[in-house]
C-alpha cells in the first residue's frame, strides 16, 4: 500500500525529492506508458510523452493541492499531454484527429513494436474510429480495468456519463468487429 | 458494465483478450525510463540556466525601449533631411576648393609677413623674460641688457620662437582686415628692417 501523503511530502522536500521521484516513476511508469500508448499508438511518441509527463509532475508537484489523489493527478497530466500531442500531430499533417488515428492504426502492421494479430489490429481500428473521449473511457475500462470512480476523477466526468460512454463505445466496436468479420 | 452483460452485448469483443493488445516495447525500456527522465530534467534545467539568466538589464529597460527606438528614428530622419546635398553640389565643389586654396595662400603670405615684423619684438620679449627668470632679480632692465648678449643668444640659437609664442606675448595685437589688404613686398620689408634700429623698437615697447 502506497502512502501517498508521505510520498507527496517527500516529493516537495528538496532533500528527499530525487529518491521520491524515482520511486514515483517506478510505481506508475508502466500504467502510464500503456495508457499513453493506446492514444498515440507509436512507441517513440509514447516515450516522449511519458517523459514529459514525469517532468511536468516533477516541476509542478508544489502546486499539487492534494484535493485529488496523486495517482489521478498524474494520470490526468498524462492524458492531457497525449491528447494535446496527437491533436498537434494531426494539425501539422493537415488532417483531423480521427483521420490521423485511423492512419496510425492502419500502419500498425509495419510498426516494429507491434506484434498483434489481425483481430487485434481490427480492434485497434475500431477503437480509433470512436470519438476520442469514448476511446479514453473504453481503453481505461476495458484494457486497464479501472473503476468508474477512478476514471471519473481522472477525466473529471460523472460516473453516469462514463457508463453511458462505455456502453456506446462497446456497442460501436462490436458492430465494427461484426462488419469486418462478416 | 459487468463481464456477463459484456458477453451479451459484445460477444465478438469478449473473444479478444484485454491483456493482449499486440503492442510491444523495446527490451529493457522500463528499466531505463527513470534515468531518461532525469537526463531530460537535467538537460532542461541546464538549458534554462544558460538561457540569459546570467545577464541582467537596467531597471525599466523594457518599459523605455520603445521610446528610445522612436527617438533614435526621429533623430536619424532629421539628420537625413539635413544631410541632403544641394543640386549640382558635386559640379561646384572643385571651383570652390580652388578658390579656398587661393584665398589661403594670400593668408599664408600675410602671416609670413606679420611674423617677420613681429620676430624682433618677440625675441626681445623672450630674452627679457629669460633674464628675469635666470637672474631672479627685479633689477634687470633693458638698460642692463647688453646688445652683445642678445646677439649671442640669437646666434647660438638659444631662443626658440614660434607663432604661438608671439600670439602669447602680444595678446593685445589684433589683425585687421585693413592690414591684411595691404601688400608688403619682401624688398620693402627688408628695407624697413635695415632702416629701423631694433634696440629703439625694444625701448619703445
DSSP A134-148: HHHHHIIIIIS---H
Burial level of B111, CB count in 10 A (0-12/13-18/19+)? middle
> How far does the CA of residue B8 sit from the closest CA of chain A (Å)?
11
- pLDDT value, residue B71: 75
- Is residue A137 within 8 A of residue A162, CB to CB? The reply is yes
Question: Residue A159 pLDDT > 80, yes or no?
Answer: yes
- pLDDT value, residue A140: 94
Interface check for B14 against chain A (CB to CB < 8 A): the answer is no
Interface check for A164 against chain B (CB to CB < 8 A): the answer is no
pLDDT digits (tens, 9 = 90+) for A118-137: 888 889 999 999 998 999 99
- Is residue A142 within 8 A of residue B18, CB to CB? The reply is yes
Q: Which residue of B has its CA nearest to A181?
A: B12
Q: Which residue has the higher pLDDT, A141 or B183?
A: A141
pLDDT digits (tens, 9 = 90+) for A37-85: 999 999 999 999 999 999 999 999 999 987 889 999 999 999 999 999 9
pLDDT digits (tens, 9 = 90+) for B6-42: 777 888 888 888 877 888 889 889 888 888 898 888 8
Interface check for B31 against chain A (CB to CB < 8 A): the answer is no
Q: In sequence order, what are the beta bridge partners of A114?
A: B23
- pLDDT value, residue B106: 64
What integer is the mean pLDDT of A145-152? Answer: 94
Region at A41 (left for phi over 0; alpha for psi -120 to 50; beta for the rest): left
Q: In chain A, which residues have their Cβ closer than 8 Å to the Cβ of B27? A: none
Interface check for B9 against chain A (CB to CB < 8 A): the answer is yes
> How far does the CA of residue A160 sit from the closest CA of chain B (Å)?
11
Residue contact A170–B33, C-beta within 8 A: no
- pLDDT value, residue A90: 94
CA angle B57, B63, B66 (to 5 degrees): 105
**Residue A76 and residue A48: Cα distance in Å, rounded?**
16
pLDDT digits (tens, 9 = 90+) for A6-48: 999 999 999 999 999 999 999 999 999 999 999 999 999 999 9
What integer is the mean pLDDT of A142-158? Answer: 93
Q: How confident is the model at residue B50 (pLDDT cuts 50, 70, 90)?
A: low
CA angle B2, B7, B12 (to 5 degrees): 135
Question: Residue B179 pLDDT > 70, yes or no?
Answer: no
Question: Residue A182 pLDDT > 60, yes or no?
Answer: no
pLDDT digits (tens, 9 = 90+) for B136-171: 555 556 666 677 777 777 677 666 666 666 677 777
Q: In chain B, which residues have their Cβ closer than 8 Å to the Cβ of A33? A: 25, 30, 33
DSSP string, A108-173: GGG-TTB---HHHHHHHHHHHTS-HHHHHHHIIIIIS---HHHHHHHHT--HHHHHHHHHHHHHHH
DSSP string, A23-80: HHHHHHHHHHHHHHHHHH--HHHHHHHHHHHHHHHHHHGGG--SSS-HHHHHHHHHHH
pLDDT digits (tens, 9 = 90+) for B63-72: 776 677 767 6
**Residue A57 and residue A52: Cα distance in Å, rounded?**
9
pLDDT digits (tens, 9 = 90+) for B93-113: 677 777 777 776 666 666 666
Q: Which of B7, B11, B16, B23 to mutate to test the interface with A (most CBs of A within 10 A)?
A: B23
Interface check for A179 against chain B (CB to CB < 8 A): the answer is no
Q: Which residue has the higher pLDDT, B131 or A130?
A: A130
**Residue A77 and residue B185: Cα distance in Å, rounded?**
103
**Residue A152 and residue A139: Cα distance in Å, rounded?**
14
- Helix or strand or coil: residue A95? coil
Give, rounded to a whole angstrom, the gap between the first and last alpha carbons of chain A. 47
> How far does the CA of residue A48 sit from the closest CA of chain B (Å)?
10
- Is residue A137 within 8 A of residue A24, CB to CB? The reply is no
- pLDDT value, residue A29: 92
Tracing cell 631662443 back to the chain, one arrives at B159
**Residue B186 and residue B147: Cα distance in Å, rounded?**
26
- Is residue A32 within 8 A of residue A53, CB to CB? The reply is yes
Question: Residue B52 pLDDT > 60, yes or no?
Answer: no
Q: How confident is the model at residue B59 (pLDDT cuts 50, 70, 90)?
A: confident
ipTM at complex level: 0.71
Interface check for A160 against chain B (CB to CB < 8 A): the answer is no
Residue contact B10–A120, C-beta within 8 A: no
**Residue B139 and residue A8: Cα distance in Å, rounded?**
103
Question: Residue B128 pLDDT > 70, yes or no?
Answer: yes
Amino acid at each position: 500500500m502506497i502512502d501517498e501523503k508521505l510520498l507527496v511530502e517527500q516529493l516537495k522536500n528538496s532533500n528527499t525529492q530525487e529518491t521520491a521521484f524515482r520511486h514515483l516513476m517506478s510505481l506508475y511508469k508502466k500504467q502510464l506508458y500503456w495508457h499513453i500508448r493506446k492514444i498515440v499508438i507509436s512507441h517513440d511518441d509514447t516515450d516522449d510523452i511519458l517523459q514529459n509527463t514525469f517532468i511536468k509532475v516533477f516541476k509542478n508537484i508544489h502546486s499539487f493541492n492534494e484535493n485529488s489523489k496523486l495517482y489521478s493527478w498524474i494520470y490526468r497530466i498524462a492524458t492531457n499531454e497525449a491528447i494535446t500531442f496527437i491533436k498537434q500531430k494531426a494539425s501539422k499533417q493537415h488532417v483531423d484527429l480521427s483521420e490521423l488515428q485511423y492512419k496510425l492504426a492502419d500502419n500498425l502492421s509495419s510498426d516494429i513494436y507491434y506484434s498483434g494479430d489481425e483481430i487485434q489490429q481490427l480492434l485497434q481500428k475500431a477503437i480509433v474510429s470512436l470519438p476520442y473521449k469514448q476511446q479514453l473511457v473504453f481503453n481505461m475500462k476495458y484494457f486497464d480495468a479501472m473503476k468508474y470512480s477512478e476514471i471519473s476523477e481522472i477525466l473529471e466526468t460523472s460516473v453516469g456519463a462514463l457508463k453511458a460512454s462505455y456502453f456506446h463505445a462497446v456497442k460501436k466496436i462490436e458492430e465494427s468487429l461484426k462488419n469486418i468479420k462478416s | 458494465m459487468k463481464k456477463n452483460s459484456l458477453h451479451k452485448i459484445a460477444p465478438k469483443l469478449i473473444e479478444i483478450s484485454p491483456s493482449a493488445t499486440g503492442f510491444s516495447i523495446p527490451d529493457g525500456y522500463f528499466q531505463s525510463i527513470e534515468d531518461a527522465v532525469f537526463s531530460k530534467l537535467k538537460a532542461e534545467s541546464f538549458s534554462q540556466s544558460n538561457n540569459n539568466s546570467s545577464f541582467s538589464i537596467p531597471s525599466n529597460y523594457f518599459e523605455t525601449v520603445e521610446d528610445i527606438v522612436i527617438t533614435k528614428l526621429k533623430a536619424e530622419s532629421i539628420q537625413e533631411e539635413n544631410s541632403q546635398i544641394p543640386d549640382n553640389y558635386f559640379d561646384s565643389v572643385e571651383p570652390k576648393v580652388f578658390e579656398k586654396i587661393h584665398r589661403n595662400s594670400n593668408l599664408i603670405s600675410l602671416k609670413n609677413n606679420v611674423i617677420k615684423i613681429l620676430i624682433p619684438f618677440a625675441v626681445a620679449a623672450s630674452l627679457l623674460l629669460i633674464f628675469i627668470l635666470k637672474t631672479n632679480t627685479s633689477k634687470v632692465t633693458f638698460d642692463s641688457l647688453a646688445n652683445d648678449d642678445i646677439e649671442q643668444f640669437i646666434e647660438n640659437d638659444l631662443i626658440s620662437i614660434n607663432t604661438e609664442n608671439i600670439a602669447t606675448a602680444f595678446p593685445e595685437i589684433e589683425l585687421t582686415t585693413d592690414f591684411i589688404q595691404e601688400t608688403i613686398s619682401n624688398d620693402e620689408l627688408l628695407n624697413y628692417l635695415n632702416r629701423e634700429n631694433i634696440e629703439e623698437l625694444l625701448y619703445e615697447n
